[in-house]
Amino acid sequence: MYHRATMMILTAFAWMAGTNLVAHAQEPQVIPAPDLDGGGALMDTYLWHVRGLPPGQRLAVHSGAGPNFRVIHALDEGQPIERLSCRDSRGGYWCRIATVDRPRISGWVDGRFLLEESGFAPPQDERDALTDPLIVIDPFERPRRP
């Protein structure tokens, strides 16, 4: 009998402690976003852009890494995207991307038409954009054998 009463008391304490923890866990903590002073003056520093399309063409977004997959969307020249990963597949260089606008669309595109560009250089960046060369690496260039 003594053992049963002790278990009931311990169960009651555990239940009260558990309800107290649940109450604290459900209280949301709101952290305000920083003010950007100008509403987007920093632009899209971490994004990639669609570049190098023939005039009037759009970049097809496929459901898989290759030209034989279904086309699910198309991107315009200069459109910002997030590059998620890239790989060689089906004779080409394919990148998995996601759009940054709504609705957010994810798929695979020909990686030759993606260029990493920043729209903002931080103040501590000592690079001179007018005189320092832009280095472009061609993912399709094969190294020459000696």
CATH number of the domain at 55, please.
2.30.30.40
Residue 1 lies in a domain: no
Owning domain of residue 70:
48-116
> For 42-75, how does the pLDDT look when each residue is reduced to its tens digit (9 = 90+)?
455 557 899 999 999 999 999 999 999 999 999 9
Residue 76 lies in a domain: yes
Q: How confident is the model at residue 128 (pLDDT cuts 50, 70, 90)?
A: low
- pLDDT at position 122, please? 40
Q: In whole angstroms, what is the distance from residue 138 CA to residue 40 CA? A: 31
Number of domains the chain contains:
1
Q: Give the rounded percent of residues in the chain with a pLDDT score beyond 90.
A: 33
Residue 97 lies in a domain: yes
Residue 82 lies in a domain: yes
Q: In whole angstroms, what is the distance from residue 4 CA to residue 126 CA? A: 74
Q: In whole angstroms, what is the distance from residue 39 CA to residue 74 CA? A: 28
Residue 71 lies in a domain: yes
> For 70-103, how does the pLDDT look when each residue is reduced to its tens digit (9 = 90+)?
999 999 998 999 999 998 887 889 999 999 888 8
